[in-house]
Every structure is written in structure tokens, then in C-alpha cells.
């Protein structure tokens, strides 16, 4: 074996046991220390880094010049739990629409901070549209897309100066699809002169990190506070992202934004994002995340928010919505009722959260078990806040319900789903109502 431990052993022939003298410990690493960055709009404050929880954010895919359509999608994302929403600001028409988007959101009571995504002409848009610069809560700048040659430094400086003028934080987001080619060429030449050259992949990693940190330090020289800067180095490969961020985390104390760029569609994008981000988050690296999923045709953009939340919640880093524990089914579970009920309850809980979030504090930590037969059903149900064990093959047509570990009733008949949902709703009001919480 690749490890050793102090233990007491018996011979294998006598029902051996290996008993450690030390407790088995779990949990993620302590969060990496970083500057706390405050992103504000009105009375809404979202802190990224420092002691703040890891934040979930997303981005619209609407034409920002369509102020109403953009505001509607932002509202959907915010209601799903996106704590910041990024919008594209790529044309004068889009920049002119940003204040109207903000006004529309404010009238709807949606105070989520907006992040402006700038490329190529951002220095001009921020200069020519001061209302846009003011309405945004944060800017995103890609150092590889701010200009070519001698213009690069000037145009980058103009964008940083706008952030200072309007007191806005900035994400300096390097992307390996648009890396500063002058920097990369210089580093390739330097590498070729080494006695033992690095592999080209290592040079690419170093170029990403140097571009991000160098751009951040230049912003500091221009007068932007370290507590106004978030860094990202976006790549599309899982192992690449892990390698880059492990080094980036060691070499700076800026807050870090995590996410695979162009993660993909469906299960591929979800699995790749989860694999990459979970490793880094487990190591205490990352202050805000975005899951860059390609939506299925006609699907809601909110799917990426749900995935981001579920990564953090299943890792025990945050709680966003009550979670449903459900068995996968087997030959004992001949009915599809447990699948339908699990899906119905999970959808109901998520749909209620915009209302429950303020009315029932703590409800996001609740667990609900929906099990399909008697094998693990009662045990799992007792471990959850509320659980139901539905009848499997050959079992009596009865569904025992458990609340806080105790069996409280048995449901029968055609309305099990409706009755169980009402039990869940009543429990939430009783357990997490503000009067009840205050009494506790």
C-alpha cells in the first residue's frame, strides 16, 4: 500500500479488523486567503473573496441592446440564485441600453449587481457612455483583447482609469483563446534559449499566469486598489485549469474567479466543470464560480446557475435549496412513482425558494428523502428531515413518512404525491418560520 498507519491487527484467518488509533477526518481545506472585493448596487452588497462564501454567477446570452429582453433574462437568473449577472457590452447600442436595463431591474425589485463584459472597444464605450459606466457594478477586462502593439497599454490604462473614476471593481480575465500573442511569442523565444526547454504546454500555463498577475499589478500601479481586483485564467481543459489555478493561487493574493471556458453542452459540460472546480474548491482555491454551459435548444439559461449551486452544496461549502435524496431504482422498484415524486418534490422546492429564502431562513439546509422500496427506504428517511419510503415490488401498498427521524404516518391511495408535498410545505412553515426560529 502507498501509506501506513498505526493500527491493531488480527490475522486474516480470524475475521481480521484494522483499527486506526487516529480518527478519520474529512472536509475541505481552509480557504486560500485573498482580498475581499465588494460589488454593490443600491443596498445590495456581494462580497467576493476574504471571508465571504464562494459566489455563484452567470451571464446572459441576449442582445444587450434589447433592454427588456435582457432585463427579463437577468431576473430569471437572479431568481435562480445568480448573485451577479454579466452582460455583453460590445457596441454603442449595447452601452446605451445598459442604464435602461438597470432601471428596468430596479423597477422590478431585482437588485442583482451587473458586470459589463468588455473587449476591443471597451475603453471607448466607457468613455463615451458614462451612464453605462455608472450603472454597472463591475467591469470584466480581457488583457488579450484591449488593443494591439503600442495601443494596448494606453487602452488598458483608460479602462482601469474608468474603474477608478466610477469606483468599480474589475475582473481581469485572461483566456487562452485570446492570450496576448506578443507575450506568448516572447516567452516561447525565452524558452527556446533554455538549456532544458519546457514543454510548450508549460509555457502556455506560465503565459496565462504572467498575463493575469502582470495586468493586475499594472492596474495597481495606475491606482486601482488590490481590493478592487479579481483574477481569472480561463481554459477549456480540466487538467489545464487545475494546473494553472494551483500556481496562480500560490503566486498572488487577489480574489479568484473559477470556471472552464466553453465547458460544453449537457452532461459533458456539467461533468467537466464539476471535475475541475471540485478539485480546486476542495483545496480552498476559488472565490466565485461560473459554469459556462451551452444550453440545450430552447432550454433556460438558469441551468448553469443550478449546476454551480449544486457543486457547492454537495461539497458542503454552501446551502442554496433543500436537497432531495432519492434511490436510483432497481428490480425491487417496479413502480415509477418514486421517480416521479422525487422529480416533483425537487422541482417544487426549487420553485418555492425565491419566496422561502426570506420567509423561512435556514430552509435551504433541509433534506428530503424519496425512496423506492423497503431495503434502504426507512433508514434513509430517518436520516433526512422528511422522508418517505414508497412501496416496492411485493411490498404492501403503503408509504411510511418520517419526520426528524420518527415515523409520523403512513400514506395510501392515489394521492400520495399531493399529500406528501403538503406535509413538506407544513413542515417548512413550522420548522423554519421566523417565529419558530426566534423561539429556538
Q: Which of 135, 170, 134 is nearest to 48 (CA)?
A: 170
Asked if residue 373 belongs to a known ligand binding site, the reply is: yes
Per DSSP bridges, beta strands 114-118 and 138-141 are: parallel
What is the C-alpha to C-alpha distance for residues 34 and 47, in angstroms, rounded to an integer? 12
Q: Which of 355, 348, 357, 359 is nearest to 433 (CA)?
A: 359
Q: What is the dihedral of CA 122, 124, 128, 131, to 10 degrees?
A: 10
Asked if residue 233 belongs to a known ligand binding site, the reply is: no
What is the C-alpha to C-alpha distance for residues 92 and 136, in angstroms, rounded to an integer? 15
DSSP-assigned letters across all residues of 380-408: HHHHSSEEEE---TTS-S-EEEEETTEEE
Distance of CA 207 to the CA centre of its chain: 26
Beta-carbon neighbour count of residue 311 at 10 Å?
Answer: 21
Asked if residue 380 belongs to a known ligand binding site, the reply is: yes
What is the C-alpha to C-alpha distance for residues 303 and 107, in angstroms, rounded to an integer? 25
Per DSSP bridges, beta strands 138-141 and 170-175 are: parallel
Asked if residue 327 belongs to a known ligand binding site, the reply is: yes
Q: Residues at the annotated binding site for [4Fe-4S] cluster? A: 327, 330, 373, 380
Q: Residues at the annotated binding site? A: 327, 330, 373, 380
Amino acid at each position: 500500500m502507498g501509506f501506513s498507519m498505526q493500527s491493531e491487527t488480527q490475522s486474516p484467518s480470524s475475521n481480521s479488523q484494522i483499527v486506526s488509533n487516529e480518527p478519520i477526518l474529512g472536509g475541505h481545506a481552509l480557504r486560500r486567503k485573498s482580498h475581499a472585493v465588494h460589488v454593490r448596487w443600491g443596498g445590495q452588497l456581494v462580497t467576493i473573496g476574504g471571508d465571504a462564501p464562494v459566489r455563484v454567477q452567470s451571464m446572459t446570452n441576449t442582445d444587450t441592446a434589447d433592454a427588456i429582453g435582457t432585463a427579463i433574462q437577468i431576473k430569471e437568473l437572479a431568481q435562480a440564485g445568480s448573485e451577479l449577472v454579466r452582460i455583453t457590452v460590445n457596441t454603442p447600442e449595447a452601452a446605451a441600453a445598459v442604464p435602461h436595463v438597470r432601471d428596468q431591474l430596479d423597477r422590478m425589485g431585482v437588485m442583482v449587481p451587473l458586470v459589463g463584459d468588455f473587449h476591443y472597444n471597451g475603453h471607448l464605450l466607457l468613455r463615451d457612455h458614462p451612464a453605462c459606466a455608472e450603472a454597472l457594478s463591475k467591469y470584466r477586462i480581457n488583457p488579450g483583447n484591449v488593443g494591439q502593439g503600442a495601443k494596448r497599454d494606453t487602452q488598458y490604462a483608460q479602462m482601469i482609469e474608468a474603474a477608478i473614476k466610477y469606483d468599480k471593481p474589475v475582473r481581469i480575465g485572461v483566456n487562452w483563446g485570446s492570450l496576448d500573442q506578443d507575450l506568448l511569442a516572447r516567452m516561447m523565444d525565452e524558452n527556446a534559449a533554455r538549456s532544458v526547454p519546457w514543454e510548450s504546454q508549460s509555457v502556455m500555463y506560465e503565459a496565462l499566469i504572467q498575463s493575469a498577475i502582470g495586468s493586475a499589478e499594472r492596474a495597481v500601479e495606475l491606482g486601482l486598489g488590490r481590493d478592487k481586483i479579481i483574477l481569472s485564467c480561463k481554459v477549456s481543459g480540466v487538467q489545464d485549469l487545475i494546473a494553472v489555478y494551483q500556481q496562480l493561487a500560490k503566486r498572488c493574493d487577489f480574489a479568484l474567479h473559477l470556471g472552464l471556458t466553453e465547458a460544453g453542452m449537457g452532461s459533458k459540460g456539467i461533468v467537466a466543470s464539476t471535475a475541475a472546480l471540485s478539485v480546486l474548491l476542495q483545496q480552498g482555491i476559488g472565490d466565485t464560480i461560473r459554469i459556462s454551459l451551452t444550453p440545450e435548444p430552447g432550454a433556460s439559461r438558469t441551468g448553469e446557475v443550478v449546476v454551480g449551486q449544486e457543486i457547492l452544496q454537495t461539497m458542503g461549502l454552501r446551502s442554496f435549496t433543500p436537497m432531495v435524496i432519492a434511490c436510483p431504482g432497481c428490480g425491487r422498484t417496479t413502480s415509477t412513482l418514486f421517480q416521479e415524486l422525487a422529480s416533483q418534490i425537487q422541482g417544487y422546492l426549487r420553485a418555492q425558494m425565491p419566496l422561502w429564502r426570506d420567509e423561512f431562513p435556514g430552509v435551504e439546509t433541509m433534506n428530503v428523502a424519496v425512496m423506492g422500496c423497503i431495503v434502504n427506504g426507512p433508514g434513509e428517511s430517518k436520516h433526512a428531515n422528511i422522508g418517505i419510503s414508497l412501496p416496492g415490488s411485493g411490498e404492501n401498498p403503503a408509504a411510511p413518512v418520517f419526520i426528524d427521524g420518527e415515523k409520523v404516518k403512513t400514506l395510501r391511495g392515489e394521492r400520495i404525491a399531493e399529500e406528501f408535498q403538503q406535509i413538506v410545505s407544513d413542515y417548512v412553515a413550522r420548522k423554519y418560520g421566523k417565529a419558530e426560529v426566534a423561539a429556538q
